[in-house]
Amino acid sequence: MHELSICQALLTQVSEIARRHAGNNVGRIVVAVGPLSGVEPSLLAAAFRLARSGSCAAKAELRFEPAPVRVRCRECGAESECRPNRIFCADCGGYRIEVVSGDELRLLRIELSATDDVPHRPPSERTN
Ligand SMILES: [Zn+2]
């Protein structure tokens, strides 16, 4: 399943970041999904619910932010933004373009929540 392997890669990235920030409870994961990425957000969300169990993001919410489609024109060299179903140069109307962005799936940010399951200091450590 394509989406599941994407989620696993995402979670590897997330757990690395969480570890670096000494966080062990990921509250939210925000990803940008380009319209040309071929990734269906609803399928990705379903796969995420399977993939997250047992990870530091077991309770995390996955959020999507739309990513714009940007193209570079081979005719006039202009770079412009366009709609995923109308891909042409905004400057000259040329169709000979290359996609600059919009076909990616990118981790934008993660939000680490303050953990409440840190082991409490055992009473024996208290000094009397
Ligand atoms: Zn152009």
Full-model pTM: 0.75
**What is the residue extent of each domain of the chain?**
2-113
| AA letter at 55 | S
Round to whole Å and give the CA distance between 73 and 51. 39
41 burial level (CB within 10 Å; 0-12, 13-18, 19+):
middle
Place of tokens 């599941």: 4
How remote is the CA of residue 32 from the centroid of ligand 1, in Å? 26
Residue-averaged pLDDT of the chain: 87
pLDDT digits (tens, 9 = 90+) for 64-82: 998 999 999 999 999 999 9
Distance 85 CA to ligand 1 centre (A): 17
Cα(28) to ligand 1 centroid in Å equals: 39
Cα(84) to centroid(ligand 1), Å:
17
Q: What is the pLDDT of residues 39-63, one digit of tens each?
A: 999 999 999 999 999 898 999 999 9
**Lateral strand order in the sheet of 61-66:** 61-66, 26-33, 105-112
Can you tell me which residue has the tokens 């047992």?
Answer: 54
Given a contact cutoff of 8 angstroms between Cβ atoms, the answer to whether 109 and 30 are in contact is: yes
Distance 86 CA to ligand 1 centre (A): 14
CA 61–ligand 1 middle distance (angstroms):
40
CATH hierarchy code of domain 2-113: 3.30.2320.80
* 96 SS3 class: coil
| Residue corresponding to tokens 């934008």 | 108
